[in-house]
């Protein structure tokens, strides 16, 4: 008999399960805390439950744990892990340590594959298989947090939904996972430590505003005009820049969350000072930080990395205009763990 993963149930649903076994409602809260606060995935370890209740739970429910199927460690300390899911699909998550800044960041996946097919991204070439369940997202956080403690003696400080998939196309499960990560009765992380990256899903951004979700937002922009962005990111054809900026303005007006633009620079495509001026004009609608990112090689993609001098000139142009701008150097690219490279690839180039 296939058992149901107990993590699909909310606290009220766990209360119903406890009462069906003749147990008081407060037992459900204990189960909930074992799962979401203490990260326990074995009923026998839930020691404040009676043996009878534990046996009943084992009879009907299970934990479909992520299986670690590959792991690589970069020369810079970045760790990429491949996880096999209950249906044998594989996803990847990345631990990015920056000890000098006391930052230990999890880059978490939200889908198996991705449907957006951005030209520069390896994940898009995999195609979307399915959305991840909230507990599959949460377990990445749990397992990588343990990695960080074991390897670097420090728990995670930041979580970025920048791994495989488009988070806002898995809105409900992403928000449920964030609730578990931030809930005081679970992991208790601050919303300020969490960033959702999106290619610009207008409906999803507006829903974040309507739901008053106060996590940081990173727009995967990469071009400041529709023609170039259409070429890089087909999603722009149905979610154009005007509508995306309008939705982000709505989000900022309602929540005052931090918004950043992620801008991968491609040689002789989006790296001119004219491109910088167009990008600057997009920063006038709300406070924004720009992260300029060097392009990371993806096999079969006919785009090239802009040289460092041009990247620095581009950044200086924006800084001189008063825009907060950071040039982000890629980490983990020697193990295909950098921005745009997650594709379940474990052999080195």
Residues 6+ apart with CB under 8 A from 277: 317
Note the pTM of the prediction, 2 decimals. 0.90
The burial class, CB within 10 Å (0-12 / 13-18 / 19+), for 238 is exposed
Mind listing the pLDDT tens digit for each residue in 119-153? 888 776 777 899 999 999 999 999 999 999 999 99
Range in 63-67, 83-87, 195-199, 328-332 the model is least confident about: 328-332
Q: Among this protein's residues, is 118 annotated catalytic?
A: no
Average pLDDT over residues 74-103: 93
Region at 102 (left for phi over 0; alpha for psi -120 to 50; beta for the rest): left
More reliable by pLDDT, 113 or 259: 259
CB 290 within 8 A of CB 325: yes
Name the band, by pLDDT with cuts 50, 70 and 90, for residue 220. very high
The top-level CATH class assigned to 67-335 is alpha beta
Name the band, by pLDDT with cuts 50, 70 and 90, for residue 302. confident
Average pLDDT over residues 187-200: 94
The top-level CATH class assigned to 4-62 is mainly alpha
Name the band, by pLDDT with cuts 50, 70 and 90, for residue 296. confident
> Does the structure show a pLDDT above 60 at 337?
no
User: What's residue 251's pLDDT?
Assistant: 98
- Where are the strands (E) in the chain, listed by range? 4-5, 61-62, 67-73, 79-84, 90-98, 103-107, 111-112, 130-131, 158-161, 194-198, 216-220, 259-265, 289-294, 324-328
Percentage of the residues of the chain whose pLDDT score is greater than 90 = 81
Range in 210-219, 225-234, 290-299, 316-325 the model is least confident about: 290-299
| Distance of alpha carbon 161 from alpha carbon 146, whole angstroms | 18
> Which one of the listed residues 107, 114, 121, 339 is annotated catalytic?
339
> Does the structure show a pLDDT above 90 at 303?
no
Name the band, by pLDDT with cuts 50, 70 and 90, for residue 330. low
> Which one of the listed residues 23, 92, 136, 262 is annotated catalytic?
92
> Does the structure show a pLDDT above 50 at 10?
yes
CA 270, 233, 123, 206 dihedral sign is positive
Average pLDDT over residues 283-310: 89
Q: Among this protein's residues, is 107 annotated catalytic?
A: no
User: What's residue 197's pLDDT?
Assistant: 96
- The residues spanned by each domain of the chain are 4-62, 67-335
Nearest Cα residue to 159 out of 99, 106, 217: 106
Residue 61 DSSP symbol: E
User: What's residue 341's pLDDT?
Assistant: 46
Mind listing the pLDDT tens digit for each residue in 159-193? 999 999 999 999 999 999 999 999 887 778 999 99
Percentage of the residues of the chain whose pLDDT score is greater than 70 = 93
Mean residue pLDDT of the chain comes to 91
Average pLDDT over residues 260-264: 96
């Amino acid at each position: 008999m296939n058992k149901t993963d107990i993590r699909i149930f909310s606290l009220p649903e766990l209360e119903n399960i406890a009462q069906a076994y003749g147990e008081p409602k407060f037992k459900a809260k204990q189960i909930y805390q074992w799962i979401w606060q203490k990260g326990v995935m074995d009923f026998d370890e839930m020691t404040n439950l009676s043996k009878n209740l534990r046996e009943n739970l084992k009879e009907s429910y299970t934990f479909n744990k992520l299986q670690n199927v590959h792991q690589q460690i970069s020369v810079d300390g970045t760790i990429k892990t491949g996880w096999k899911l209950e249906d044998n699909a594989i996803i990847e998550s990345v631990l990015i340590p920056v000890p000098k800044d006391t930052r230990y960041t999890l880059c978490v996946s939200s889908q198996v594959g991705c449907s957006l097919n951005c030209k520069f991204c390896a994940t898009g070439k995999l195609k979307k298989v399915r959305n991840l369940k909230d507990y599959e997202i949460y377990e990445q956080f749990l397992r990588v947090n343990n990695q960080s403690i074991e390897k670097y003696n420090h728990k995670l400080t930041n979580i970025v939904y920048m791994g495989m998939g488009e988070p806002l196309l898995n809105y409900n499960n992403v928000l449920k996972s964030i609730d578990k990560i931030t809930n005081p009765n679970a992991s208790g992380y601050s919303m300020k430590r969490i960033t959702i990256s999106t290619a610009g899903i207008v409906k999803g951004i507006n829903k974040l505003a309507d739901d008053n979700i106060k996590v940081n937002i990173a727009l995967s922009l990469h071009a400041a005009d529709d023609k170039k962005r259409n070429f890089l990111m087909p999603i722009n054809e149905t979610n154009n820049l005007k509508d995306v900026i309008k939705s982000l303005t709505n989000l900022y007006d309602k929540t005052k969350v931090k918004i950043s633009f992620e801008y991968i620079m491609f040689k002789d495509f989006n790296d001119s000072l004219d491109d910088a001026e167009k990008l600057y004009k997009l920063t006038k609608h709300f406070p924004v930080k720009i992260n300029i990112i060097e392009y990371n090689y993806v096999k079969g993609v006919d785009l090239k990395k802009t040289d460092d001098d041009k990247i620095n000139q581009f950044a200086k142009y924006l800084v001189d205009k008063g825009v907060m701008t950071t040039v982000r150097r890629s980490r983990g690219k020697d193990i295909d763990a950098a921005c745009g490279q997650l594709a379940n690839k474990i052999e080195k180039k």
